């Protein structure tokens, strides 16, 4: 049963992508299959999460090849949380995508590409092998590029070209790192690498490999200075696509950084900790200043994806249980909130007729429910208590203070204030100021309205639940942090009590 649960998050979207591709000429059937698959994926990931909480790490060896010889899949607390949140986002966006423009998107191939993306994300969170992590990155890149240029507009093609070029550079660095680390250690299994890496004689070469991986994962996570592709492309995508991108794509990069630098390169933390701290600070500052400078809802939200990535890196920069727990809690909160803000942005565009703040106004009068649904994730993103973002920021800032990382703590507080400024700017311009002289009327059916607002309401409820019922989420985050720092337990779970060495560490 545990083995079936392990592969279900990959097999379900794989089956959905295949079936929806076969139903290419029948958009309604595609949507039905896609919705059923999204529900199944969400249920499967929740069951897998419950299994990990109850019984510990789930490990599977594909084809019954013992580790480190075959393909290993591993789901621990962090992986299970990321899979569960992937299932939630997949379901929310699948419902939202049934709103305005659904038929046009489905005829362009949205459904198979969407589920292929979910499959790639689930594979990246589940793999216990560095080369297969690269494979899943490529699956995500192909699917995400197809989704980005779905409408085939000039703007999308331009943004898609920038997106794919920088990501191809990142994956090239990744492949180079894979070859080099195999030459140094004789293995690519993450647990085996964690065991072998500290004994590699040429630690300088191993550190160079770590830099290559940091560049590759950092490009995927859109950290400073590798973030330009994100604000150049996300604002061109349709809102369902932008929402799933905002929720998951950069978090795969963050997950990879956390996984590799707490497991394989943990012995080199004295070198990489300060580097990661500097990257976190620069990412927070550059992202929030970019958001403060723009007056388009999509661009503001895109830059805030960048700024919030910095908070998530604080845990791996400090490498303390509290700091890593704060990063885990912040990742979960941010995925929900950021995806929801893009869904709200789509509703603002539908009701107000534009994404440009100068052309919006009066939405608090014409759509008060939308105003409330915007305020919940917006204030949570800014870290206002008692919403989920407050607790995530509180934990990482407290961990920074306990580690005497004063600059990290100060920047995190300052960026929170500037984030609040950006959210207030959207509120004042779109909701509070007077409506423009010619205010467009929304034209959508009741079914489209329900499809648009149902996932927004649900994600707002999740945000409130994390904020008001924080204890179980905080306890889970601490358990995930302890599991990440317990390298020996991970190695033993994957390799067994008597591991076989593939090769001696190269000189």
- pLDDT at residue 80 in the model: 96
- Cα(499)–Cα(66) distance, integer angstroms: 9
On whether residue 505 sits in a domain, the answer given is no
Give the burial class of 446: count Cβ atoms within 10 A of its Cβ; 0-12 exposed, 13-18 middle, 19 or more buried: exposed
pLDDT digits (tens, 9 = 90+) for 41-76: 999 999 999 999 998 899 988 877 877 888 899 999
Helix (H, G, I), strand (E, B) or coil at 417: helix
Asked whether residue 2 carries a pLDDT value surpassing 80, the answer given is no
The mean per-residue pLDDT over the stretch 436-450 comes to 76
Residues whose CB falls within 8 Å of the CB of residue 387, separated by 6 or more in sequence, listed in order: 376, 379, 380, 463, 464, 467
- pLDDT at residue 235 in the model: 81
**Cα-based torsion angle of the residue sequence 263, 264, 270, 271 in order, rounded to the nearest 10 degrees:** -140
Residue 448 banded pLDDT, cuts 50, 70, 90: confident
pLDDT digits (tens, 9 = 90+) for 454-495: 999 999 999 999 999 999 999 999 999 999 999 999 999 998
What phi and psi values does residue 167 have, to the nearest 5 degrees? -70, -30
Residue 218 banded pLDDT, cuts 50, 70, 90: very high
On whether residue 502 sits in a domain, the answer given is no
Residue 500 banded pLDDT, cuts 50, 70, 90: low
On whether residue 420 sits in a domain, the answer given is yes
pLDDT digits (tens, 9 = 90+) for 229-241: 888 888 888 899 9
| Domains of the chain: total | 1
- pLDDT at residue 97 in the model: 93
On whether residue 501 sits in a domain, the answer given is no
- pLDDT at residue 352 in the model: 87
* Residue 72, beta-bridge partner list: 61
On whether residue 503 sits in a domain, the answer given is no
CA nearest to 400, candidates 418, 384, 413, 382 = 413
- pLDDT at residue 43 in the model: 96
pTM greater than 0.85 (yes/no)? yes
What phi and psi values does residue 61 have, to the nearest 5 degrees? -110, 110
Asked if residues 490 and 128 have their Cβ atoms less than 8 Å apart, the reply is no
- pLDDT at residue 411 in the model: 95
On whether residue 186 sits in a domain, the answer given is yes
Residues whose CB falls within 8 Å of the CB of residue 146, separated by 6 or more in sequence, listed in order: 109, 113
- Taking 3-state DSSP, the helix, strand and coil percentages for the chain, each rounded to the nearest 5, stand at 80, 5, 20
On whether residue 335 sits in a domain, the answer given is yes
What phi and psi values does residue 58 have, to the nearest 5 degrees? -105, 125
DSSP string covering 141-160 = HHHHHHHHTTT--HHHHHHH
What is the overall mean pLDDT for the chain?
A: 91
Helices (H), 59-153: 77-96, 102-107, 110-126, 130-148
On whether residue 504 sits in a domain, the answer given is no
The mean per-residue pLDDT over the stretch 241-270 comes to 94
The range of the structural domain enclosing residue 231 comes to 2-436+445-493
């Amino acid at each position: 049963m545990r083995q079936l649960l392990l592969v279900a998050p990959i097999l379900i979207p794989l089956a959905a992508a295949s079936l929806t591709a076969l139903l290419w000429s029948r958009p309604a059937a595609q949507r039905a299959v896609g919705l059923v698959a999204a529900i199944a994926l969400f249920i499967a990931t929740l069951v897998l999460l419950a299994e990990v909480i109850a019984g510990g790490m789930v490990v599977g060896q594909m084809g019954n090849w013992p580790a480190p010889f075959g393909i290993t899949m591993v789901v621990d607390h962090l992986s299970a949380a990321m899979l569960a949140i992937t299932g939630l986002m997949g379901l929310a966006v699948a419902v939202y995508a049934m709103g305005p423009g659904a038929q046009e998107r489905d005829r362009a191939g949205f459904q198979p590409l969407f589920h292929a993306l979910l499959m790639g994300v689930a594979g990246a969170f589940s793999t216990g092998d560095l080369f297969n992590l690269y494979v899943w990155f490529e699956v995500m890149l192909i699917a995400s590029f197809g989704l980005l240029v779905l409408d085939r507009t000039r703007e999308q093609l331009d943004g898609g070209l920038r997106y794919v070029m920088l990501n191809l550079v990142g994956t090239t660095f990744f492949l180079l790192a894979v070859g080099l680390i195999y030459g140094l250690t004789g293995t690519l299994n993450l647990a085996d690498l964690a065991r072998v890496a500290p004994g590699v004689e040429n630690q300088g070469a191993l550190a160079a490999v770590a830099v290559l991986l940091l560049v590759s994962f950092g490009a995927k996570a859109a950290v400073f200075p590798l973030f330009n592709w994100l604000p150049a492309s996300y604002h061109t995508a349709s809102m369902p696509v932008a929402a799933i991108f905002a929720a998951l794509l950069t978090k795969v990069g963050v997950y990879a950084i956390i996984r590799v630098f707490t497991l394989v390169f943990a012995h080199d933390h004295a070198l990489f900790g300060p580097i990661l701290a500097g990257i976190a600070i620069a990412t927070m500052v550059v992202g929030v200043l970019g958001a403060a400078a723009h007056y388009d809802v999509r661009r503001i939200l895109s830059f805030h994806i960048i700024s919030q990535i910095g908070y998530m890196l604080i845990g791996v920069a400090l490498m303390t249980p509290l700091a890593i727990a704060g990063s885990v809690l912040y990742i979960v909160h941010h995925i929900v909130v950021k995806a929801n803000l893009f869904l709200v942005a789509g509703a603002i565009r539908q009701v107000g007729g534009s994404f440009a703040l100068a052309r919006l106004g009066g939405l608090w009068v014409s759509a008060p429910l939308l105003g409330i649904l915007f305020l919940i994730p917006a204030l949570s993103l800014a870290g206002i208590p008692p919403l989920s973002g407050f607790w995530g920021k509180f934990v990482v800032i407290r961990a920074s203070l306990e580690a005497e990382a004063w600059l990290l703590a100060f920047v995190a507080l300052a960026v929170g204030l500037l984030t609040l400024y950006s959210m207030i700017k959207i509120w004042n311009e779109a909701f509070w100021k007077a409506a423009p002289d010619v205010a467009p009327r929304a034209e959508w059916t009741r079914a489209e309205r329900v499809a648009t607002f149902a996932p927004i309401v649900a994600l707002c409820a999740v945000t409130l639940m994390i904020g008001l019922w924080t204890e179980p989420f905080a306890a889970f985050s601490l358990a995930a942090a302890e599991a990440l720092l317990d390298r020996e337990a991970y190695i033993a779970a994957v390799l067994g009590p008597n591991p076989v060495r593939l090769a001696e560490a190269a000189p």
